[in-house]
Structure 1
């Protein structure tokens, strides 16, 4: 869920920060092979929007990403990236679309964690902003950045844990295979040496 903060009403500033903490959570989607997933936000001129994403599972951990304006002009494009961040300031009113594409892969599905947040532009001439409101606005932006970093760390930690568990499983089964081969070689040697001591009768 995308959260846009409006600073027009001072009594709601504290509640806005609490809402930011509650709603600025990562979204997790699965982008299947040879497909793409697109989302959009309706922005007004001078509104700001930031998109951060991280590929957590699948293939080589890469994804294509792009963001377009209402006239379908590409504002940002990332090719085969595992993580990325892009920020824009809307130059016109309209629908801004961003897509995650896995069309380069024909087999592997990708799990993508992403977060979208923004700030609604308010002209200082239209509404006088008190110093405390400025500080609260700055704090809210800082909290969003911290939340994005936490989500990035969580995804990376999960990926590293999966890699460590996979490595442990491979070591375990490789050890089992070596033990089986060793027992087979020992059994064959015993059988082969035993044949030298067998008494053969010539009729």
Structure 2
């Protein structure tokens, strides 16, 4: 009984510590012609899901992929994973998407890299909001995982999905608002241009008619 109580307390503590990470999406600015990459160290059968949305820039599209870095090693200067692993195994790729979700299950232990690429654009930077969440694989041995712990994990994953949807609703609303403001601005300046052209034509016609009658009067 005491063991079950301790497990339950530990599970709720883990969930409590996880909540702050669920409250905020990661937001990055991917410069034109470049890519931003991140990595997670996964064990076999671990699950990882990345959801993302382009919130601004260009045509609101981005390239995204996930790879298993077979021969990942650290740079002696920056101590970051090298991104040019020739033996890396591509696990999923999405091209020129505004929003997307990519879920993988690790087939082997190792470093898994996911990248947002804006290399197709030469001018526009892209603002990308994304979330990464996963499920650590644990066997079904009842001595290791109690039913209440499974329920807590299920609840945690459901909470993650709800938070992701809420954050993407905010991003979509911001994107639509930016589009509407951009359209209104273009309509306004087009109307100003039309008004200038109209007044110019009227002024020219008045001047032409005035000159025409002055010439007639002289004759």
Following superposition, the deviation at residue 16 of structure 1 comes to 3.0
Partner of residue 185 from structure 2, selected from 153, 165, 169? 169
Partner of 2:13: 15
Following superposition, the deviation at residue 13 of structure 1 comes to 2.6
Partner of 1:51: 50
Worse-matched range after superposition: 115-124 or 188-197: 188-197
Partner of residue 92 from structure 1, selected from 89, 108, 119? 108
Following superposition, the deviation at residue 80 of structure 1 comes to 1.9
> What count of residue pairs does the alignment treat as equivalent?
195
Q: Contact (CA 8 Å) 2:40, 2:113: kept in 1 or not?
A: yes
Following superposition, the deviation at residue 12 of structure 1 comes to 2.9
Following superposition, the deviation at residue 64 of structure 1 comes to 1.6
Q: Contact (CA 8 Å) 2:131, 2:164: kept in 1 or not?
A: yes
Gaps of 5+ in 2: 1-5, 71-87
TM-score by length of 1: 0.85
| 1:1-203 superposed matches below 5 A | 9-24=7-22, 25-71=24-70, 72-125=88-141, 127-198=143-214, 200-201=217-218
Q: Contact (CA 8 Å) 1:68, 1:76: kept in 2 or not?
A: yes
CA distance in 2 between partners of 1:105 and 1:196 (Å): 56
What's the Cα RMSD here? 2.1
2:14 partner SS: helix
Gaps of 5+ in 1: 1-7
Q: Contact (CA 8 Å) 1:45, 1:92: kept in 2 or not?
A: yes
CA distance in 2 between partners of 1:113 and 1:186 (Å): 51
1:69 partner SS: strand
